[in-house]
Amino acid sequence: MARPQPARSLARQTLSSGTEAARLELLEYFLIHHDDLQRCAQASLEWLHRYAGVKRSVCLLADRDSGTLVGVAGFGVGADDVEMSESSLSDEGNPLVGALASAEPIIINSGRANGGSTRAALGPGAYAAVPLRGVRDREEGAVGLLLMRPGSDTTADLSWLSTVLGQKLDQIRGRGSLAEEVRKLRRERSLLFTIINSVTDPIMLTDTEGRLIVANARAEKLFAAGEEESEGRRRAVELNNMLFSAALSRSAVEGPSEARELLLVDPSEGSDLLFEVLSSTVEDSREGTGIVSVLRNITDLRRATEQIEENYQRLRVLEAEARTERDRLNLIIDSVADPIIVTDPTGETVLMNAPAEELFTVPVTAADIAERNVQANDAHFSSFISGLLLGEGGPREIRRGEIGLVNPSSSELIPVEAIAGKVQSESGELTAVVTILHDRREALERVRLYEQLKLASDELQARVQAATAELATQNELLRRQAIELEQASRLKSQFLANMSHEFRTPLNAILGYTHMLLHGVAGDLTVAARRQLTRIDSNGRHLLTIINEILDITRIEAGKMPIQISEFNPSEIVPEVMAELDPVIARSKLIVTPKLDPEAPPVHSDRQKVKQIVVNLLSNALKFTHQGGIEIAVMHDADTGSVSIAVSDTGIGIAPEHHERIFEDFRQVDSSPSRQYGGTGLGLAICRRLAGALGGRIALRSNLGQGSTFTLTIPVDATP
Ligand code: ADP
C-alpha cells in the first residue's frame, strides 16, 4: 500500500532552524489541521525524525469505546504495519496496555510475546513506549502511545512532543467516536488503494506545485524511493520526478486535458519507458486543487510502431530494389534480339520481351488468322515447357527442343530452337522458367547455301580435274609436236645445208668455166657471145649470194657458225666495204660519205662477220635510195664500252609498223610478185643473228619517205 505523504509540505515548512521555531511550526500545523487526528499524529512523527533523529516510529491511540489500541500513524515503517498494530485494551499481559497506565516511558523488549507487528515494523531489539497523556483522562491512563527506538538525545523534544501530541489527540478524540471514524476512513482508503493499485498504469495525485500527494503502487515504483534503497534507484526516481514535474508544468501551459508523451526511466532495470500522460484537474474542499495524472505505458506500443515503420521502410526499399532489378532485367531481355519468355511454375507467362510479344500476343484489331496463329504458337510453347515443369530433372536441367512457330501476321513458318532453364529460390523451390527461342531460319539457310556451295565446288573441282587432264594431254601433244617440229626443222636445215652445198659446187664450176671463157681460154669471143657469157656470170653470182645466205642461216640455226675473234680497228672496215661495193656505188650515182672516229679503240671481235653486216646494210641503203647520199659513221661509247657503225640513207624509208618484221626470215616490206626491189628477205635476219652472236645488236631509226639509219653496236671486247 502506498504511503500517504502529506507531511512533505510540513517538512519543507520546518526547514527554519531553532527548536523554538520548530516547535512553533508544529503547533501551527496542529492549529490548521485541528480536527485531523491522523495528520497531526503523522506530522508529529516526522517532526521527531527531523529534530530528534528518530528513524522509525509508530503512533497508537487507545479507543476506550471499542476497547482497542489502534495504530494511527507511522514513520519509517510500512502503512500495513501501522494498521496491523491493533490490539485489545483488555489484554493485561500486553506490555503496551501496561505502558498506557505508566506515567513514564517504558522499554519493551521485542522478544516478548506481545510486540506484534509493531515490533516487526520497528525492527528487532528493544523499543520505547511513550505514554501520550491527555488533560482530562489522567485516571483512565494515557490517550495513546508513541513507539520508537530511543534516539541519542531525545529526552527534551520527546517529552515536549508527547505532551503536546497527547493533549491534541485527547482534544480531537473528545469530539466523537474516534475508532469508528478511523475504521471507516481506513476502509474507504483501503478500498481506494485497492482500486488504484489494481490499475497497472501509474496513477498519481499531485498538488498544483507538482508535489506528490497520492500514488498507486506502480507510480511508487517510478517516483518514490526510500533512503535504504540503492543510489542508482534513487537517482532514477529523482530523474523521473523531475521529468514528470516538467511534463506537468508544460501541460499547465498548453492545456491539461491533452495527452502527451513522457519518457521515464525504469528505476529497477534502468531501461527507458515511454508513457502517455493524461492529466486532469480535481478540486477538493480540504486539499484544494490537485492534478490527477494517469500514465499509460506505451513503450511496447511505440516499439511495435517503430518496428512496423522500420519494416515498412525496409519493405519499401526492397520493393524499390526489386523494381530496379526488374527494370534492369526488362532492359536486358528487351535488348536481346531473340524472343525470351519467363513463365511461373504453373506455366503462366509472367514476362516476355518485344520479339516474344510479336509471336505470342496479338492486337485486338488483328485478323482472325493472326489470333489462331498465336494460339497455335502458345500451344506449341506450352507443351514444350510442360516437359520441363513436370520433368524429374535436377535444378540445373536445361531443356532444348525444336518448335515450329508461325509468324502471326504473315503465317510464315518459323522453325525455332527453344532453350529453357529453371530459376530456383534459395530454398530450392522452382520460381520461374526462362526460355530463349532462337530463330533457325538463318542457320538453315546457311546450311542450304553451304550445301549448294559444296555442290558447286565439287562440280568445279571435277571440271578443273578434267581440264587439267585435258591440258596434260595437250601438253604432251605439244611436246611431241615440238619434238617433231624440231626434228623437221633440223631436217630442213640439214636439207638446206646439203642442198646449198650441192648447189654451190656445180654453180662454182659454172662460174669458173664462164670466167675462163670470158678470159679467152677457148679462143676469142664474138661480141654477142661475150654479152651472153657476162649475163651467165652475173646471174650465177646472184644465185651464189642467195645460196650463201641460205647456207649462213641454216648454219647459224644449226649452231655451226664459227666465231673467230681477232683485234682490228672498226674504222678500217668502212673503206674495205666501200671498195667491195664500188661497182654498185658507181652504178647508183650516190655519194657515200664515211665518217670515222679517230679515237675509236681497236676491238676484239669477228672481223669477217662485222664486215658482212656492214656490207649488207650498205647494199640495202644503195638499193632503197634513189637520190641524196649515204653516210657510214663509226662511233665509240667509252661509257658502255661499245663501238657503233651506223649506215644512214636518204632513201624510201620504212613505216614504223614494219620496223620489227623486216628482221624476220624471208620478210620484205613489199613481198608481192610485182615487187620493185629484188632480194631474198634474209639479209637483215642474218645480220641480226650475227650481231647477236657477237654480243651486239642492230637498231633502226626510220620513217616512210624520210630515209633510214641502221646502227650496228658491238662490245669492244666480244671474247666470250
Ligand atoms: P632483201 O634481200 O630483200 O634486201 P633484207 O633482209 O636485206 O632482204 O631486207 C628486207 C627488207 O627490208 C627489204 O626487202 C626492204 O623492204 C627493207 N629494207 C632493208 N633496207 C632498207 C633501206 N635501207 N631502205 C628501205 N628499205 C629497206
> Could you tell me if 167 and 46 lie in one domain?
yes
> CB within 6 Å of ligand 1 — which residues?
620-621, 624, 649, 651-652, 654, 662, 668-669, 677, 679-685, 708
Tell which residue, 233, 250, 194, has the closest CA to residue 217: 194
Question: What's the CA-to-centroid distance between 677 and ligand 1, angstroms?
Answer: 9
CATH of the domain at 524: 1.10.287.130
Look at the chain and report how many structural domains it folds into. 5
Residues 180 and 205 in one domain: no
- pLDDT band for position 198 (50/70/90)? confident
Q: Determine the distance from the C-alpha atom of residue 241 to the mean position of all C-alpha atoms in its chain, rounded to a whole number.
A: 60
The beta-strand segments (E) located in 384-429 are 398-406, 413-424
List Cβ neighbours of 21 (8 Å cut-off, separation of 6 or more): none
Which residues form the domain of 391?
340-435
SS3 300: helix
329 assigned to some structural domain: no
Atom of ligand 1 nearest to the CA of 684: 6
Q: What is the largest CA-CA distance in the chain?
A: 236
- Percent of the residues in the chain that have a pLDDT greater than 70, as a whole number: 90
CA of 14 to the centre of ligand 1 (A): 168
Residue 557 neighbours by CB distance under 10 Å? 17
Residue nearest atom 4 in ligand 1 by C-alpha distance: 679
Q: Looking at the domain assignment, is residue 116 inside a domain?
A: yes
d(CA 671, CA 515): 33
CA distance 596 to 615: 16
Q: Residue 689: which CATH number?
A: 3.30.565.10
Q: What is the CATH number of the domain that holds 411?
A: 3.30.450.20
Single residue among 297, 329, 353 that ends a domain in this structure? 297
Q: Which atom of ligand 1 is nearest to the CA of 686?
A: 6
Q: Indicate which atom in ligand 1 lies nearest the CA of residue 667.
A: 10
Taking the centre of ligand 1 as the mean of its atom positions, its distance from the CA of residue 666, in whole angstroms, is: 10
The neighbouring-strand residues paired with 432 are 423
Please indicate, yes or no, whether residues 622 and 700 belong to a single structural domain of this protein.
yes
Based on the fold, state whether residues 51 and 130 are members of the same structural domain: yes
* Most confident of the ranges 127-141, 238-252, 497-511, 581-595: 581-595
Task: pLDDT band for 249, please (50, 70, 90 cuts).
Answer: confident
Asked if the structure places residue 470 within a domain, the reply is yes
pLDDT band, residue 157 (cuts 50/70/90): confident
Q: Is residue 41 part of a domain?
A: yes
| Residue among 367, 443, 447 nearest 407 (CA) | 367
Q: Which of 435, 467, 494 is the last residue of a domain?
A: 435
- The helix/strand/coil state of 670 is coil
pLDDT for position 35:
75
CA distances, 231 to each of 5, 12, 241, 267, 494 (Å) = 22, 23, 15, 10, 150
* Mutation probe of ligand 1 site: the residue of 547, 552, 620 with most atoms within 8 A of C-beta: 620
- Structural domain includes residue 69: yes
Ligand 1, atom 23, residue with closest C-alpha: 621
The per-residue pLDDT for 180 is 64
Q: Judge residue 17's burial from the number of C-beta atoms within 10 Å of its C-beta, 0-12 exposed, 13-18 middle, 19 or more buried.
A: exposed
Residue 1 has pLDDT above 60, yes or no: no
Q: Is the pLDDT at 160 greater than 70, yes or no?
A: yes
Q: Are residues 541 and 578 in the same domain?
A: no
Euclidean distance between CA atoms 201 and 264, whole angstroms: 13
Q: What's the DSSP call for residue 367?
A: -
Mean pLDDT, rounded, of the chain: 84
In a domain, 190, yes or no: no
How far does residue 681's CA lie from ligand 1's centre (Å)?
7
Q: Is the dihedral of CA 638, 644, 648, 653 positive or negative?
A: negative
Ligand 1 atom at minimum distance from 649 CA: 23
Question: Per-residue pLDDT for 4 more than 50?
Answer: no
pLDDT value of position 179: 59
Residue 326 lies in a domain: no
pLDDT in tens, 501-560: 788 888 999 999 999 999 988 888 899 999 999 999 988 988 888 888 888 887 787 777
Query: How many whole angstroms from 503 Cα to the centroid of ligand 1?
Result: 25
Clarify whether residues 233 and 180 are in a common domain.
Answer: no
What is the C-alpha to C-alpha distance for residues 264 and 460, in angstroms, rounded to an integer?
101
CA distance 638 to 626: 36
Residue 601 has pLDDT above 60, yes or no: yes
Q: Are strands 430-439 and 340-343 parallel, antiparallel or unpaired?
A: antiparallel
377 and 408 fall within a common domain: yes
- Which of 668, 701, 709 has the most ligand 1 atoms within 8 A of CB, as the residue to mutate? 668
What is the pLDDT averaged over residues 94-123?
70
Is residue 30 within a helix (H) or strand (E), and if so which, with residue range? Answer: helix 19-32
626 CA from centroid of ligand 1 (Å): 14
Per-residue pLDDT tens over the stretch 32-48: 876 788 888 999 999 88
The answer, yes or no, to whether residue 706 has pLDDT greater than 70, is: yes
Q: For position 573, what pLDDT does the model report?
A: 94
Banded model confidence at residue 636, pLDDT cuts 50, 70, 90: very high
Are 347 and 258 found together in one domain? no
Nearest CA owner, ligand 1 atom 11: 668
pLDDT of amino acid 18:
52
**Ligand 1 centroid – CA 539 distance (Å):** 20
Q: Is the domain of 385 the same as that of 464? A: no
pLDDT value at residue 710:
98
pLDDT exceeds 90 at position 474 = yes
Residue ending a domain, choose from 157, 184, 211: 184
* CATH number (domain holding residue 98): 3.30.450.40
Average pLDDT over residues 551-574: 86
Count CA atoms closer than 13 A to 252's CA, side-chain side.
Answer: 15
584, 631, 658, 662, best to mutate for ligand 1 pocket (most atoms within 8 Å of CB): 662
Residues 482 and 504 in one domain: yes
Task: Say whether pLDDT at 95 is over 80.
Answer: yes
- Ligand 1 center–CA 498 separation, angstroms: 27
In the numeric block, which cell numbers belong to residue 441? 531460319
Per-residue burial over 29-48, b if 16 or more Cβ lie within 10 Å, else e, is: bbeebeeebbbbbbbbbbbb
Do 45 and 162 belong together in one domain? yes
Whether 315 is in a domain gets the answer: no
Of 587 and 396, which is predicted with more confidence?
587
Specify whether 175 is located in the same domain as 213.
no
